[in-house]
Amino acid sequence: MKLNCRTAALAAALASALSSAAVAADDPFFQITEISTGTREYGYKIAHGTDDYLTVKHKYDWWSYFDSIPTEIDLSDRFSYTLGCVYDSKVCDGYYVEENENDGYAHSFFKALVDNTPYTYSLLNSGDRSDNLTFFRRSINSDGSVITGWVDNSDRSFENGVRFPVVWINGTQTVLGNSGHGQASTSFTTDDGTILVGGATPESIITDQGNYRYCYEYYQENNFREDLLNCPGYHNSPVLWALSGTGELQATQFLTHYSKADNDELSTADVRRIIKLDDTYYAFGYSASDEIGADSTNIATYWTFKYVDGAFSEVSDHLLPSGLDRPGEDDEYFGSTWFADANSNGLAIGNARYNKMNRNSYPIEMFVYDIKENTTSFAVKNKPFFGATNRAVAINEHNLVVGVSDYVNSQETVVYGNPREKAGFLYNHNTGSFYDLNDLICSSDSCEIDGKYYFIYNVGDISDNNTIIANAYRYDSYEDWTEYSHPTNVTITLTSDKFDVTDDKYDIPEDYVVKYTRPRISYDEKEGGHSGSMNGTALLLLILMAATGRRLISRSARRGS
């Protein structure tokens, strides 16, 4: 392959960096397997004990605007977009322009909601895929036999309901509600075969009458920005269901919800994971905060309960774990907190979004709550750099956590600036080690894999055999890889037999950590722009990015960094 001068220089820099790595391994730590290719398809969930997996598709690529990760966009989960658009005005305005009908713009997403067009759906790698625009499969249990999610109401409206919680047991569908906005988010199978399901329902004293409704019923193409703090979304409350092994509903338990009971303030809640420790069940998720002001937000919450002889008992709520500040009027740090996952070792992971700027950003930081010790730690604070976002997504039974962080080479200003590039990460709670997944796919010789090059930017889940489902940009040549050109979005699995299982630590030998070395990412500055202000060239690239799936970055290193 013929290289130009700049590419040759990059190749030399890469070779130097790799050759200096301490006794780097001949093979990469993780092996990459492509499982699907699609601009709008993302790795979602993987069964912890089988090879079954879920992927999610977004008809409208809303996540790129709200700076979220694509597998956590939901009208119930308002953690990322509560702040609205905090970027440079040219970035924000580009998404609100009426003429922008392409996927990727807030305008087209809101228009889809008004038109009752489904904005997302999910697929299973095996089994029934019919009517794939009417349901969403949100979680899959360890053996793949139980799937939870929701079904869209074909006649959806505030009066008739939007979507209904559903569980599929060995392919048989059971609808758990037929009104409002509901979802089944997680399941747990007890020793006697009872299936406990956690999620959210519209059971609330709040009705669907509020100013946030403006986004749907009274939508105007050029006049909806001010309502982003209270919409989009729907009121709901956390709930537990118990079903027999054949799908018959046995019991329902509504959980405490700290809503302000105010139609003008959106209140959301959910149960994201159920585990059992000793003889007590734990349901982890989030509730609304009853202390926040006009932009009612979410608060990390867990509930404990017993389930005996077909009935829930001893139900108790625990608003925030020990050591985590409460969002609200007296809090100067966090605007939202929520649990994301938990394991049977008694570790629960969650995230907290800063309510104040930290290094020109409102970062999200992951935390780990130890149930047995009743302690909370911000395990990877300021990783991979000071003020960076590191959002946890999932934890497995070996205490390995996966998530999405700001990429170490993308440290530009966010507030009144531009979105930062994202990268998948792996955190080992046993050892305290934090890794960029891209540093675990190169060998001592090259980052080339069967003639291709990859950059992992999204993570969906990790199984108990340490298989990770994720998304990467694939480049078909070395030059494209170094120039960030012509990427293809691929859903992948990462597998490895190289974990050091000594003392059950599941550590990664230092030999396999090979730094992923490419030029620093930056927005185009050729016309004298600043990282906090986009010029015309960059804005044009932004518009093209939404339609093509291409990432917006400069082909040259950022000057002065």
Contact in structure between 259 and 267 (CB atoms under 8 Å):
yes
Below-50 pLDDT ranges, the chain: 1-23, 103-104, 210, 292-294, 329, 522-561
Q: Which residues contact 310 (CB under 8 A, 6 or more apart)?
A: 242, 250, 251
- Chain mean position to CA 527: 35
Contact in structure between 415 and 354 (CB atoms under 8 Å):
no
End-to-end CA distance of the chain: 30
Domain end position, chosen among 319, 354, 384: 319
Does 354 lie in the same domain as 264? no
Does 272 lie in the same domain as 253? yes
Q: Is residue 43 part of a domain?
A: no
Does 328 lie in the same domain as 295? no
Does 243 lie in the same domain as 169? yes
Alpha-carbon gap, residue 337 to 142, rounded angstroms: 27
Q: What is the pLDDT of residue 200?
A: 93
Number of neighbouring beta carbons within 10 Å of residue 260: 17
Contact in structure between 303 and 282 (CB atoms under 8 Å):
yes
Does 275 lie in the same domain as 333? no
Which tokens belong to 74? 């939901």
| Domain ranges, residue 462 | 1-36+322-519
Domain end position, chosen among 292, 319, 346: 319
Domain end position, chosen among 284, 319, 354: 319
Which tokens belong to 348? 């629960």
Alpha-carbon gap, residue 217 to 115, rounded angstroms: 10
Q: What is the pLDDT of residue 347?
A: 97
Q: What is the pLDDT of residue 454?
A: 96
Q: What is the pLDDT of residue 178?
A: 82
* Closest residue by Cα to residue 228 from 81, 363, 65: 81
Q: Is residue 46 part of a domain?
A: no
Q: Tell me the three state secondary structure of residue 280.
A: strand
Residue 41 — left, alpha, or beta (φ > 0 → left; ψ -120 to 50 → alpha)? beta
Q: Is residue 49 part of a domain?
A: no
Does 425 lie in the same domain as 478? yes
Q: Which residue has the tokens 């976002």?
A: 389
Q: What is the pLDDT of residue 222?
A: 55
Q: Is residue 538 part of a domain?
A: no
Does 137 lie in the same domain as 286? yes
Q: Is residue 50 part of a domain?
A: no
Helices (runs of H) and strands (runs of E) counted in the chain:
7, 27
Does 223 lie in the same domain as 138? yes
Which tokens belong to 385? 């750099």
Alpha-carbon gap, residue 259 to 291, rounded angstroms: 9
Q: Is residue 554 part of a domain?
A: no
Does 26 lie in the same domain as 75? no
Output phi, psi for 69, to 5 deg: -100, 140
* Closest residue by Cα to residue 515 from 441, 464, 450: 441
* Closest residue by Cα to residue 100 from 541, 553, 551, 547: 547
- The model's pTM is 0.86
Does 313 lie in the same domain as 343? no
Burial class (CB in 10 A: 0-12, 13-18, 19+), 472: buried
Number of folded domains in the chain?
A: 2
Does 206 lie in the same domain as 235? yes
* Closest residue by Cα to residue 351 from 419, 362, 359, 255: 362
Q: Which residue has the tokens 């199984």?
A: 463
DSSP bridge partners of 41: 57
Q: Is residue 6 part of a domain?
A: yes
pLDDT in tens, 117-153: 777 888 888 665 555 567 899 999 999 999 999 998 8
Contact in structure between 184 and 166 (CB atoms under 8 Å):
yes
Which tokens belong to 7? 């590419």
DSSP bridge partners of 340: none
Single-letter amino acid, residue 274: I
Q: What is the pLDDT of residue 99?
A: 56
Does 274 lie in the same domain as 168? yes
Q: What is the pLDDT of residue 244?
A: 96
Q: Is residue 360 part of a domain?
A: yes
